Amino acid sequence: MANDRLYRFWADLDEALITGKPQNEIKHSGKPIFEELYADPNKLKQFINAMSGISTGNFIALAQKFDFSRYKTLCDIGGAAGVLSVQVARHHENIKCTSLDLPPVAPVANEYIAKHGLSNRVKTGNVDFFKDEFPKADVITMGMILHDWDLPNKMMLIQKAYNALPEGGAFIVIESLIDDDRRKNAFGLMMSLNMLIEFGVAFDYTGADFAKWTKEVGFSRVEVIALAGASSAAVAYK
């Protein structure tokens, strides 16, 4: 995906910085990135596989480092191939997981889940998180989802996660969190530039940003767990 899509778009980074506008498919066709991707099964599968490749190590680390023992259900919003749900279910027999995404993603996710022999404990479902409320679950996760949007949409997604959780529930985002001083995590800063190129108004953020936003909607406590490489899990507890 980096060769086929992103390399050409990054050539227009200077224009993105000057204008604040995305430099991807929407610049040439007028169609937003996800509309383009979801309209072409081959492009969609390439995108999902790329996201799975980037994220699998982080999801394994999350399953190993976060204490899931007190929880019974997990719902992964924007779950793509279902990798996060599969890794949590593999490591924690007490958890039943649901991976939610738009309808065209389900065949890819179901194939991945079946390949790992977890169809009995990991289910798929459909969600349009701009229109739908999230289903109730003890844990709500988002892997590289929150950074795709501007602040009002970030806050909307955080509010929906809060509404879906019980007292004591956990909202977990997995991102290339930028360090609070914005000096050390160069990969996180580069990812934020990538969000500019892809969406214009989207951006990556710090753990302090996440703590501020989640506490504004009612979460009581936040922690950051280092995962693989430059990525972390930010956890907000209700």
Alpha helices by DSSP H, listed for 20-150, are 25-29, 33-38, 41-65, 83-91, 106-115
Q: Residue 182: phi, psi to the nearest 5?
A: 55, 45
Question: Does residue 197 contact residue 27 with C-beta atoms inside 8 Å?
Answer: no
The Cβ of residue 210 has, within 10 Å, a number of other Cβ atoms equal to: 24
- Kindly list the domain boundaries of the chain, sorted by start residue: 2-237
Known catalytic residues? 147
Question: Does residue 197 contact residue 23 with C-beta atoms inside 8 Å?
Answer: yes
2-237, CATH topology level: Rossmann fold (3.40.50)
Q: Under DSSP, is residue 126 helix (H, G, I), strand (E, B) or coil?
A: strand
Spell out the residues 6+ positions from residue 21 whose beta carbon is closer than 8 angstroms to its own.
15, 27, 200
Residue 102 CA: distances (Å) to CA of 22, 129, 174, 176, 227: 23, 9, 20, 24, 27
Q: What is the pLDDT along the chain (238 residues), one digit of tens a residue?
A: 566 667 788 888 899 889 988 877 777 776 666 666 667 777 777 777 767 667 789 999 999 999 999 999 999 999 998 999 999 999 999 999 999 998 888 988 999 999 999 999 999 999 999 999 999 999 999 999 999 999 999 999 999 999 999 999 999 999 999 999 999 999 999 989 988 988 889 999 999 999 999 999 999 999 999 998 899 999 999 9
